[in-house]
Amino acid sequence: MQYNSFIFFFFLISAVTLYYLVKAKYRNYVLLFFNYAFYSYVDYRFTILLIAVTSVTYFLGEQIRKNEDHKKRKIFLFAGLIFNISILGFFKYYNFFIESINHFLNSFNIDLNLSSLNILLPIGLSFYIFQTLTFIFDIYYETIEDKYSYLEFAIFASFFPTVVAGPIERASRLLPQIREEKKFSSKLLTDGIALISIGMVRKVIIADSSGMIVNHILADPQYFTSLEVLVGILLFTVQVYNDFAGYSNISRGIGIIFGYDIMVNFKQPYFSTSVADFWRRWHISLSTWLRDYLFKPLQIKFRGFGNYGNALAILITFIICGIWHGASW
């Protein structure tokens, strides 16, 4: 369901209206219903997988929370990691790795001809897997101390403003907001609509318009002058930034209407003064996720190797970052 479609416009109106009309104790049930309705729009089977990931991850997270034995907590943590990464790996990377293995073996004249599968990739899988993983990480590192119900976690895992393309929220940040009682106000509505409008302008008018020119030029660059190709490349940076940042604005705007504070995902990255500064401003929800849940644990693990350990942690982090963005070397 595209944000810039009439069906989403009516979906959002229906969701907001019903959400605030029912009694406060029923609002989370209404929100979960609309979360699953939104995600099921493309294919209901995607929602079945989402519910399965939600259920298993919640169970393992609860086992970590209940256990005081460090070894058992670590076992359940690794079980959660293996389960979630296996789901992501199968649906998004199975064919990629099979084709890579075949290509590698063929270079040695070995023809195993391993078969690929016709796998339909669930939308937003990379985003909600990383989001649900924060639940078991935050419980393990005791960033979350309160017990949350399955309903609250299911809303967190399937929250429709973020489930398809982020921002990647953290359990420790969003779950407490789910528990808070929401009250409708004209300020929430106007602030949310304003941010949605900005996002629509960035996504539809700037990004999509730039994209038409970019696709025209870069599809056959040999037919254009160097200056025209340069313009196409520069417009591509405009397209990518405004497409993603615009989507994040829309997500945050929708969240505001429902009384949620979704994290800022971009902070004017093209005004960065260094590469490090750029990574603090671009796709913040992913870069901070990689920093806190991957790089820092690796950095601690490899600290005995000095600068080499630090370099290895950086290398692993950015390899995973690259593969996360797409099944391609």
Give the whole-angstrom CA distance, residue 163 versus residue 257: 17
325 is annotated as an active-site residue: yes
Give the whole-angstrom CA distance, residue 166 versus residue 248: 7
187 to each of 177, 252, 253, how far by Cα in Å?
A: 18, 14, 12
Cβ pair 253, 190 in contact under 8 A: no
Cβ pair 131, 95 in contact under 8 A: no
| Secondary element (H or E) of residue 105 | helix 94-106
The one catalytic residue among 103, 216, 283, 325: 325
Torsion-angle region of residue 238: left (phi > 0), alpha (psi -120 to 50) or beta?
alpha
Instruction: Provide the token pair at 174.
Output: 């969003």
- The candidate with the shortest Cα–Cα distance to 184, out of 3, 12, 21, is 21
Give the whole-angstrom CA distance, residue 182 versus residue 153: 17
Give the whole-angstrom CA distance, residue 11 versus residue 112: 49
- The candidate with the shortest Cα–Cα distance to 76, out of 153, 68, 127, 155, is 68
Give the whole-angstrom CA distance, residue 156 versus residue 160: 9
Q: Which residues are catalytic?
A: 325
